[in-house]
Amino acid sequence: MTRMSPSEALVETMVANGVTRIFGIMGSAFMDAMDIFEPAGISMVSVVHEQGAAHMADGYSRVSGRHGVCIGQNGPGISNCVTAIAAAYWAHSPVVIITPEAGTMGTGLGGFQEANQLPMFQEFTKYQGHVNNPKRMAEITGRCFERAISEMGPTQLNIPRDYFYGELDVEIPQPRALDRGPGGAKSLSEAAELLVNAKFPVIISGGGVVMGDGVDECKALAERLGAPVVNSYLHNDSFPASHPLWCGPLGYQGSKAGMKLISKADVVLALGTRLGPFGTLPQYGMEYWPEDAQIIQVDADHKMLGLVKKISVGICGDAKAAAAALLSRIDDKSLACDASKAQRAKVIEQEKEAWERELDEWRHEKDDFSLKMIAEAEDKLLSPRQVLRELEKAMPADVMVSTDIGNICSVSNSYLRFERPRSMFAAMSFGNCGYAFPTIIGAKLAAMDRPAVSYVGDGAWGMSMGETMTCVREGIPVTSVVFNNMQWGAEKKNQVDFYGRRFVAGDLKNQSFAGIARAMGAEGVVVDNLEDVGPALTRAIDAQMNDGKTTILEIMCTRELGDPFRRDALSKPVRHLNKYKNYT
């Protein structure tokens, strides 16, 4: 036991958990603890907006595999973080949000910046720790950090602002490493039996493979089976794109090759994925999910097993350990798929080649609205698909890319390929705008030796571009590609298809984003020639890696629109009142 203040207990517990960065905006609510961050070896990354702070903590944790930590002033500073914590929740990121709250003597009186902060995050946290006595500061802080890792998601540490002060005797809890196993012997044996008898096995490599550092184990299992490997939705970094068995991502704007191959499967091994609905829905007019296949699902959270898709075997275990255990059970056996291994490899190669040819030839969207927009476009407006292909070609092998939720960013799913894990970051099921840019800032800070690029539409850029000042002020160089097509494209597509092309609130008249970037102290470049796209990205990454400069690439795009990403509540409108009957 050591004599210290509650602030010191908080900081020492964070140090014990390896915390060296905290993202946020300074506030009186936690100033006593903030005062000793620096001598404890913790740097405070000062952001423009608290939502950005929580996104940065998310990106930092997803690259480092460690905790991401964010903090803000009680009340409005904390409420600003809710959206970003929700995104971290669906990304399974071990983010700890520290939420100082109003002092205990003023609670319930409607005082300045008072808010009930626990319900705000109840739906989006794995654990909520409320410090109900200063003597429990270290205990509850330690539990929040432990649960973030063990439960694979955000936790909240709620501290009344008057509980940072005083004296107490404290023992700092030390973190315990969680040893996750491969799953139960019975379920592993049942899964191995299905794989032994599979004639056309397919592996879905999910986010659990990335988080568990299990890419090599997934690769070894795939090679033994000769099984095509598809990425789960928005986890394009879960299997190396240069590998002959890689077939690209499933889900919205994913790989036709991957979809066609999984449709042939008699056994699907879903490794480290919850099989979320957005990643298995029909695409390109294809009902590709193999309804008659036997499904083996591996997930560290037992509640995910069989939740979305009917499964034959559920394995509650670590993706890396489960893949290794399955390989050991089948490695020396005669597999039903061995005889067709060479033929299957040929089919994989053919499907991938056909998809690459289609992408090369798919220069514009083909619906009549897009064709009209292309015809009316100025000479210097670029096709999004052509731009995405050029960006893909110019990407360094070790690049990290974050994507926002807009129309062009979503289409990029067809073009983003990676060689190593912890390289692709998206808002996952929460799908919030303004995600990509602050997240890549946090990712960069966790891996300063890697190029960091964000893809952002012009609408979402308006929400997040202020963090350019964070990059410049804090010396965190990144590159952001802003697709300027002067519209909220993802939702506008629904007005095209359902509402008679009556465009309400969908068009954007943008100022020069490159000019704004320069005013903030970053580099700003307008790209309006296709042949300049790749070289512009290369120069921006060179400036990032060698000169420590942030560059905003403003790509001037046509208004053509890719397929909509959701239609779950839309149908052709029916109008009953006479004054609306022309609007059908």
The pLDDT of residue 583 is: 87
**Tens-place pLDDT, residues 444-484:** 999 999 999 999 999 999 999 999 999 999 999 999 999 99
Q: What distance in Å separates the CA atoms of residue 236 and residue 529, rounded to the nearest whole number?
A: 28
Sequence letter at residue 126: K
Q: What distance in Å separates the CA atoms of residue 532 and residue 122, rounded to the nearest whole number?
A: 47
Number of other residues whose CB lies within 10 A of the CB of residue 356:
13
The pLDDT of residue 178 is: 87
Three-class secondary structure assignment of 229-298: EEECCCCCCCCCCCCCCEEEECCCCCCHHHHHHHCCCCEEEEECCCCCHHHCCCECCECCCCCCCEEEEE
Backbone dihedral angles phi then psi of residue 202, each to the nearest 5 degrees: -135, 140
Number of other residues whose CB lies within 10 A of the CB of residue 546:
9
Identify the bridge partners of residue 230 per DSSP, sorted by sequence position: 204
pTM confidence score: 0.97
The pLDDT of residue 199 is: 98
The pLDDT of residue 582 is: 84
Q: What distance in Å separates the CA atoms of residue 565 and residue 408, rounded to the nearest whole number?
A: 11
The pLDDT of residue 570 is: 84
Q: Give residue 251's region: left, alpha or beta (phi > 0; psi -120 to 50).
A: left
Closest CA to 474 of 525, 550, 552: 550
The pLDDT of residue 564 is: 78
The segments of the chain whose pLDDT lies below 70 read none
